[in-house]
Amino acid sequence: MKLFSRFLTEAESSKVADQARKLNLKSDGHGGWYDSRGEFVAKTEGGKLKFYNQRQRAGQDPPQKRGGQQAQAAPQGKGGAAQLPRERKPKADANKSDLDRTLDTLTVVFGRFNPPTAGHEKLLKAAEKAAAGGDLKIYPSRTVEPKKNPIDPDMKVSYMRKMFPQFEDEIINDPEMRSIFNVLIAADEEGYKSINIVVGADRLGEFESLATKYNGSEYFDFPDGIRTISAGPREDDAEGVEGISSSKLRKAVVDDDFKAFKKGLPKSINDGDAQALFDAVRTGMNVKKVGKKEAKELWQIAPRLDQKTLREKYVTKKIFRINDIVENLNTGMVGEIIRRGTNYLICVTKENVMFKSWIKDLSEETKVIPASKTGIYGVPAKKREVGTPSHRKYAQSMVAGQEEIKNFNIKEFINKYRKK
């Protein structure tokens, strides 16, 4: 009888062979693959094809950024935007093989993953399919704030690699990749000629507009184009994986509903890991009690689920005013509001890049020290300044039984215990 482990190994080998056949590669019988010119281009690793492309062949140094490490600061253009001297890249040869096109293409995913869900697994698998054996990079966003981004990037990456082990190598933890713009600039510097951006269907237009508008500009240039690819529909009211969202999981935390939270995670996650993530999100959101008070703030923690209240706040100009600094939660773009629409905003970054966002996809910029460095989640630095009443209140909140202390007088406390 064939062992199950052997069955899985043979299945993986068959998948690799099928992929290689589509790219017209020939095996050397030892895990190596050669193209039609007899050049070594890939090898089998972990049940996948690992390519050695024009940017980094085996045994070579990694690609250098344009201009080298000693490049001088670029001159400033309108609005302070850097004007990078560049030569227009030539378009790809029409006779280029499918393999060469694959090696020239980078497929990227940029998202919040706060927290990661079973729905994100569908997104990553769609990206893997779009990559077709080429390079795939998955970038979690970097923003940390209590309402919509309660867990820090390090923790996100750790849980994502645990939830989606088949994408462990593709999940990138890079502090410099704060927005999709940063990702595209870096990909251009690495020499890619085309890009696939894989997103949910509800965000397709937003990414497509931003990427194609600036392709060929001083920021990045992909002569073979930028494609935005839908990972499939996502509806908040839908059943199954299409209805799972991070917004629902954050709401479940506020409602103290672990069962609903666990339901939105991949089935491979055990109860212990699920509970740990649940607790991390709750700590990051600074949730102390549940009930009607928290329900009123649903528009803040999950605006997609309470757009009526969100719009009321917007129309009365209690949020998102002209000149406010906001961040698009989908793309990571940060900019100043220059125009208010009916349910959208026009913003411009400090580099003079303009972008449009729906109000449900925005958050007022909040600067919070990463929890990975402080060990404290969701508490602004100004509330932890030693010697201030705010710090004293915060310290009391961290000690059981101290939450109810009021009208604390430090002088009376010192005098009471002063040595006579």
Lowest mean pLDDT segment, chosen from 126-140, 147-161, 294-308: 294-308
pLDDT of amino acid 291: 47
User: What mean pLDDT do residues 89-108 have?
Assistant: 66
Q: How confident is the model at residue 166 (pLDDT cuts 50, 70, 90)?
A: very high
pLDDT grade, residue 268 (50/70/90)?
Answer: confident
pLDDT at 363 over 80: yes
Name the more confident of 371 and 152: 152
Per-residue pLDDT at 331: 93
Percentage of the chain lying above the pLDDT 70 cut: 65
* Average pLDDT value over all residues in the chain: 77
Whether the pLDDT of residue 45 is over 90: the answer is no
Average pLDDT over residues 219-231: 94
Q: What is the pLDDT of residue 215?
A: 94
Q: How would you list the strands of the sheet with 344-348, edge to edge?
A: 354-358, 344-348, 334-340, 325-328, 362-364
pLDDT tens, residue by residue, 383-408: 555 556 665 665 665 555 554 455 55
